Amino acid sequence: MISFSAVSKRYPGGQQGLQEISFTLEPGEFVFVAGRSGAGKSTLLKLIPAIERPSAGTVLVNGQNVGALRRAAVPYLRRNLGLVFQNQRLLYDRSVYDNVALPLAFSDHSPREAERRARAALDKVGLLGRERARPVQLSGGEQQRLAIARAVVNRPSILVADEPTANLDIESARSILEIFVAFNQVGVTVLIATHDEALIEGCGRRVLRLSAGRLQP
């Protein structure tokens, strides 16, 4: 479960990122965070894995107060979250397999178990057979699938994705969305930030609308 309670975020320069945001995401929900560029979508998503800390209010993730977490506890929070970043953050000097297996290295699975999980994750996103390829050899859509495979390889209960369909054609965007829907159908809580209204409309899910850092009614 994710719960925001009167959360505000002000950056050191004085810029207000979020103001008095409150909402709750129940386990197994699929929710969009919508809004124009600069509305605060990325800031909101960054508060969940403690990439940013709230200036005020409380962010609870699976019962943990993220704002009060010690630095040493943050990695363990992140291992239980599946994070898909806006620009994917793939390692372009590594193979597809190495990118997917990266989170398993710190979760300390045996090599055999790590390989099994990595292959399973690649299979779910349709990239099995491309293990040896480099990310640059993949299309934009495939790179996004690879980022999703890396996010789900640790079997997280919550999947958080920031603009996962940005710069993709409509067909690729739809297929990416279908992957998230498939994960949601097996009980994974999904939170996707997007400015693509067409994507949201066709999906019929709950939407949190942000404007200038405030949640719209």
Under the rule (CB under 8 A), what is the footprint of other proteins? 49, 51, 71-72, 75-76, 78-79, 83, 85, 89-91, 102-103, 105-108, 110, 150-151, 154
Interaxial angle between packed helices 111-124 and 96-107, expressed in degrees from 0 to 180 and rounded to the nearest 10 = 130
Nearer to other proteins, 75 or 202 (CB): 75
Shortest CB 103 distance to other proteins, Å: 5
Nearer to other proteins, 10 or 209 (CB): 10
Shortest CB 198 distance to other proteins, Å: 29
Q: Which of helix, strand or coil describes residue 108?
A: coil
Shortest CB 155 distance to other proteins, Å: 13
Are 195 and 36 in contact by the 8 Å Cβ rule? The answer is: yes
Nearer to other proteins, 192 or 199 (CB): 192
Give the residue carrying structure tokens 């925001």.
4
Instruction: Give the DSSP letter string of 29-84.
Output: -EEEEE--TTSSHHHHHHHTTTSS--SEEEEEETTEEGGG--GGGHHHHHHTEEEE
Q: Which two tokens stand for residue 208?
A: 């949190």
Shortest CB 78 distance to other proteins, Å: 4
Nearer to other proteins, 153 or 210 (CB): 153
